[in-house]
Amino acid sequence: MPILEYMAETEVDAIEPLDPLGGVDIAEVKRRVGDKVCLKGGVNTLTLLRGTPEDVMEEAKHCIESAGRGGGYILGSGDDIPTDAPVENVKAMVEAAKIYGRYIGG
């Protein structure tokens, strides 16, 4: 969070991962640099690993609502998708992108 503007000034195409476990507030990132660089990530890896599909869907929806408006956001995990994450949880994240991303991105 403290170096977001510096990262955006390097002319990278995207900033990722946006890891809530590392203290990243995705809405704040969108506010500060979302008009300068694409953002990717945001879904807590522990939610993917230990949550229910409903938990993942709700968190993914929050990420899309917080960072997706106006485009420039790619929904993804805060870091890597854990190897032991239930397939149903990964599918829930994909489904959230299909459902919520279509209506908020543009």
What is the total count of domains within the chain?
1
Tell me what pLDDT residue 44 has: 97
Residues 47-100: tens digit of each pLDDT: 999 999 999 999 999 999 999 998 999 999 999 999 999 999 999 999 999 999
Half-sphere exposure of 22 (CA within 13 A, CB side): 16
Tell me what pLDDT residue 84 has: 97
Is a pLDDT exceeding 80 seen at residue 34?
A: yes
Helices 26-33 and 53-67, axial angle in degrees (round to 10):
20
**What residues make up the domain containing 69?**
4-104
Q: Quote the tokens at residue 22.
A: 């590392």
Is a pLDDT exceeding 70 seen at residue 103?
A: no
